[in-house]
Chain A
């Protein structure tokens, strides 16, 4: 299914379709909000979006998975803590750690779920100022070699939406030093630190580069007319990156 952008020329969004046959799963938990936007971003990038239900025990034949944002299980206990034990997460954890290295992207609550799952280190606690925040946020791409960032230039600055309550990334100093040393900080906040995250970290990757998590929302910046400044499509690169990764081309 081809998605027609609501505003702007079709050609101005999807920049070629490296692998139209790719099937990208988008997981829905009770309380997930951004699954439809994530699925739309997948389609705008030229792939097929596949609905995955939290209670199901099969990933089917998906080539990659997006865990979208929202408030799974009402953020009860801790953000992402209950979702982490859903049957679908068991499958995703197994596939992400397998030799096949299933690409997995966690956005916002999806990032929180990935840390609770121990697919990514550290955790998220409440924003240091205690307020829910919703704004356009500039990020710097620190690692452009992952499955989800290879279509960006190293050091490139992108503007996408940030919206969360529990966005303060924390980890002990040893873990932070390891992340820095191994180039696993994928994105850093630029201009200001919106939530008190350690070392301005907005997103990280695992060592293999197939699992990436970040608090801001690339899926809300994928078509002209709706992204930041009503022009931004800076988030589309996440979704074209995974397609490039799946066909084996890094750049």
Chain B
């Protein structure tokens, strides 16, 4: 069944405490190439049947109303991914 992937990230101006904690622990494991980490969320919405424009529009609306909070987060990506083999 096709899935619609929604990616949500904290807004650039919002401090991301989780990302800050992660970037602090990377060097301890020898990963020294990274100066910043921001942690977001990925949602996979499974669709029974075809992904029509109307279905995609619904996904976009759900992304803006429930999956993200526009005060602190941005929806950075909404895309259809192919069926799993």
Write the residues of chain A forming the contact surface with B, with a CB cutoff of 8 angstroms.
Answer: 77-78, 81, 85, 115-116, 121-123, 125-130, 168, 170-172, 196
> 1/0 per position for B14-25, CB-CB distance to A under 8 A?
110110010000
The answer to whether B17 and A77 touch across the interface, beta carbons within 8 angstroms, is no
Total number of B residues with any Cβ neighbor in A under 8 Å: 12
The answer to whether A170 and B72 touch across the interface, beta carbons within 8 angstroms, is yes
Write the residues of chain B forming the contact surface with A, with a CB cutoff of 8 angstroms.
Answer: 10, 13-15, 17-18, 21, 66-67, 69, 71-72
The answer to whether A130 and B13 touch across the interface, beta carbons within 8 angstroms, is no
The answer to whether B72 and A125 touch across the interface, beta carbons within 8 angstroms, is yes
Indicate which residue in A78, A85, A130, A172 contacts B18 across the interface (CB closer than 8 Å): A130
The answer to whether B69 and A116 touch across the interface, beta carbons within 8 angstroms, is yes
Residues of A within 8 A of B10 (CB): 125
Known pairs A125-B17, A130-B21, A170-B14; A85 contacts B72 (CB<8 A): no
A106 to chain B, nearest CB (A): 16
The answer to whether B69 and A78 touch across the interface, beta carbons within 8 angstroms, is yes
The CA-CA distance from A121 to B72 in the complex, in Å, is 11
Residues of B within 8 A of A170 (CB): 14-15, 71-72
The answer to whether B66 and A85 touch across the interface, beta carbons within 8 angstroms, is yes
Which among B14, B17, B66 has the greatest number of chain A C-beta atoms within 10 A? B17
Residues of B within 8 A of A129 (CB): 17
A74 to chain B, nearest CB (A): 15
User: Closest 8 CB pairs between A and B?
Assistant: A123-B71, A126-B17, A123-B72, A130-B17, A128-B17, A130-B21, A123-B69, A78-B69
Indicate which residue in B13, B15, B66 contacts A196 across the interface (CB closer than 8 Å): B15
Residues of B within 8 A of A122 (CB): 71
Residues of A within 8 A of B69 (CB): 78, 81, 116, 123
The CA-CA distance from A78 to B72 in the complex, in Å, is 11
